[in-house]
Structure 1
Amino acid sequence: MTVTQTVVREIETELVVRSAEQEADGVVALTLSRPDAGDLPDWTPGAHIDLVLDDGLVRQYSLCGRSGDAASWRIAVLRAPESRGGSLRVHELKAGSVVCVRGPRNHFPVAASRRYLFIAGGIGITPLLAMINAVDAAGAEWELHYGGRQRKSMAFTAELARFGDRVRIVPEDERGLLDLDALLGRPRADTLVYACGPEGLLSAVEERCASWPPGSLHVERFAARPAESVGAESSFEVVLQHSGTTVEVPPGRSVFDAVREAGVSVLGSCLEGICGTCETEVVDGEVDHRDSVLSDAERDANDVMMICVSRCKGPRLTLAL
């Protein structure tokens, strides 16, 4: 079945928190809308938005409402005391609070398929919820396996109940961990796998999907994947095609920082290679991809790069900046 994709128009604006509801233990669901109740841009399942919080703190959260709802956007945020403070700020927002928002942006879109296997861990249910609504409406076959530490900490279980036995809720304290060997041990040529959750889960899913047909697995990370050993870094030049400037990027300095220091405006958010905000078109040169956004096929295409973390494999890179 075909899942319709919509061209996404990004905005930067202030939105009002219409409701802030406790969705599960440690998880708050916020509904955001325009102050004038006007329409918001269309978005596609898998999209996220940036919340620009106090002191310029920016965090990304998946849209988990229905993509056809132009009146409001919904996000759900896990309170993570050990984090750098973004989730704690979000949990302080109340109905009537005003927050600056950028987006929507989608680096985790749903590809057309006859059958889908969704695997969620904890708050990783958020992007998958919108996907499930879309593929179900399109008439595709699908199933969701949703793991979490405790049932009471797992968001949207009541909302998912309407799908019956297509959804398997697996609280670890009741049923143990998700049985990934049973789910992924046999490659299926007609099935796409979408997974989101903590790094341990995603690494285990990737390992088991290594024998699946290329392009079967799609994952989204909330934190950068563990860094691979890349050896000593070398300096290289970046040619900025549109501005006519050439900048040098020394070891230990990102392309993003070097370009900004040269006076060229570029947009960034996480600066860890996970949100996709700084995606930049590559005109020439071979990229040393170090992000957690692009698929293997997208990396091989060498068309774009995340300039906050990725580098150049050679002496020179030309970017459409």
Structure 2
Amino acid sequence: MDLSTPPPDLYGRPRADTFFRFLTAFGDRYTPALGSPLLRRNPRRPYSRPTEALQLVVTARRQVAADVVELTLADPSGGPLPAWQPGAHLRLTLPSGRERHYSLCGDPADRADRADRADRADQAERSGYRIAVRRLPDGGGGSAEIHDTLHPGIRLAARRPRNGFAFCAEPAVLFLAGGIGITPLLPMVREARRNGLDWHLVHTGRSADTLPFAAELRALDPARVHLRTDDEHGGPPTGAELLAPAPRGAAVYCCGPAPMLTAVQRALDASPAASLHFERFGAAPVTDGEPFTVRLGADGPELPVPADRSALDVLREARPDLPYSCKQGFCGTCEVRLLAGTPDHRDRRLTPERRADGALLPCVSRAAAGETLVLDV
């Protein structure tokens, strides 16, 4: 990674300078003749087309911790795969039709072998993707399906890698991982080591057998990797204990269960660290909601949504087959159509135009107290 460049965009592409991006967009829309509807768009810029799904095949499977399997996914024809940056995830379509997001935990620098190595830095290709999945007995079935049915030879469809947890490669970094939360952080650790940053990692879990990639992490740098288990220390660490190894002014990258994130957030100001970047396992708890109602169709049943629950959770009790994935308002899997009512959109995906057309993500979107949202589900 070139530390002089800004972090990549969601698809791993370098971000353009903000001013010139605005200037280019303005010129594309208004030149060469302001106001002419026929010339609002630069004819030299091709129309964007939907990105085709990737076709992948499972090429390897191994157990990396108790109830955690790692899968290696590759192009069925052996061709290269799109590039990605640390923190990126894949949106997989499983054989059942379920869609789930999984962080890529391999090495972004693992390029496909090429005859011409002189221009490797310019090649945006990979020979395989690695993901690791913990079985969740009380989950929605995606992890169980992966553990029970995905073996070498099984084919899957996936969206191109996307990144909502970008690594900015600050000079001093502390990585905090809780259990399977190591998956987005492992590529960041490799990148930090490759670029000579001042980095440290704390990986926590219930016991040693629950920590994925423990041997791989120790091999990176035993002096900078601390594996901490609850059974050896009498319980989970406090936020202050987790942040204690942070170098002065460090950026903290954290991925783990909600109690861990809460503890780190509360202890940050009193620690040597300067900033916090984090990714959640699931949706944040609803703390500022009001009770409202959703109606299934114009004449369907009405379902009350309590102040502390999401509309998606309530809808799935009535429609168990309603698809979902991230539960955080960025993947779009649970999208439904709004027929009536005034929603409070809280997602990070839908454009104003999509919202005006009636699109709604019930995993995070809500309504005012007493409001009724009529949904086409």
Q: TM-score range by the shorter chain?
A: 0.7 to 0.9
Deviates more, 1:78-87 or 1:207-216: 207-216
- Secondary structure of the residue aligned to 2:139 is coil
Bigger Rg, which one: 2
Checking the alignment, whether the CA contact within 8 Å between 1:3 and 1:138 is kept in structure 2 is no
- Secondary structure of the residue aligned to 1:182 is helix
Distance 1:188 1:76 in 2: 29
Equivalent residue for 2:331?
Answer: 277
User: What letter matches 2:93 in structure 1?
Assistant: V
- Secondary structure of the residue aligned to 1:51 is strand
Give CA-to-partner distance per residue, 1:25-67, whole Å, 9 cap, x none: 1110000000011111110100111111134211111000001
Matched, 1:222 2:303: no
Unaligned ranges ≥5, structure 1 = 236-250, 255-267, 280-286, 295-305, 314-321
- Secondary structure of the residue aligned to 1:29 is strand
Matched, 1:196 2:255: yes
Give CA-to-partner distance per residue, 1:119-155, whole Å, 9 cap, x none: 1111001101011001111111010111111101210
Equivalent residue for 2:199?
Answer: 142
Equivalent residue for 1:35?
Answer: 76
Equivalent residue for 2:151?
Answer: 94
Residue 99 of structure 2, aligned match among 49, 58, 63 = 58
- Secondary structure of the residue aligned to 2:259 is helix
Distance 1:187 1:99 in 2: 40
Whose strand fraction is larger, Structure 1's or Structure 2's? 1
Runs of 4+ displaced beyond 4 Å: 3-7, 185-189, 210-215, 232-235, 251-254, 287-291
Distance 2:272 2:138 in 1: 38
Equivalent residue for 1:73?
Answer: 129
Distance 1:164 1:123 in 2: 20
Distance 2:345 2:331 in 1: 15
Residue 166 of structure 2, aligned match among 89, 100, 109 = 109
User: What letter matches 2:229 in structure 1?
Assistant: P
Q: Percent identity?
A: 38
Checking the alignment, whether the CA contact within 8 Å between 1:3 and 1:112 is kept in structure 2 is no
Give CA-to-partner distance per residue, 1:198-238, whole Å, 9 cap, x none: 11111111121256799711110111011113225599xxx
Checking the alignment, whether the CA contact within 8 Å between 2:174 and 2:247 is kept in structure 1 is no
Equivalent residue for 1:257?
Answer: none
| Offset at residue 165 of structure 1 (A) | 1.5
Describe the shift of the 1:218–1:196 C-alpha distance in structure 2 as closer, same or farther (beyond 3 A). same
Checking the alignment, whether the CA contact within 8 Å between 1:113 and 1:190 is kept in structure 2 is no
Distance 2:243 2:273 in 1: 14
Distance 1:288 1:133 in 2: 40
Equivalent residue for 1:172?
Answer: 230
Checking the alignment, whether the CA contact within 8 Å between 1:6 and 1:42 is kept in structure 2 is no
Please report the RMSD computed on the Cα atoms of aligned residues, expressed in angstroms.
3.5
Describe the shift of the 1:114–1:277 C-alpha distance in structure 2 as closer, same or farther (beyond 3 A). same
Describe the shift of the 1:55–1:187 C-alpha distance in structure 2 as closer, same or farther (beyond 3 A). closer
Describe the shift of the 1:114–1:288 C-alpha distance in structure 2 as closer, same or farther (beyond 3 A). farther
Describe the shift of the 1:200–1:13 C-alpha distance in structure 2 as closer, same or farther (beyond 3 A). same
Equivalent residue for 1:85?
Answer: 141
Describe the shift of the 1:131–1:187 C-alpha distance in structure 2 as closer, same or farther (beyond 3 A). closer
Higher relative contact order at CA 8 Å, sep ≥6: structure 1 or structure 2? 1
| Offset at residue 171 of structure 1 (A) | 1.4
Distance 1:170 1:185 in 2: 13
Unaligned ranges ≥5, structure 2 = 13-50, 111-125, 295-303, 312-322, 334-342, 350-359, 369-377
Distance 1:269 1:232 in 2: 22
Describe the shift of the 1:273–1:117 C-alpha distance in structure 2 as closer, same or farther (beyond 3 A). same
Checking the alignment, whether the CA contact within 8 Å between 2:258 and 2:284 is kept in structure 1 is yes
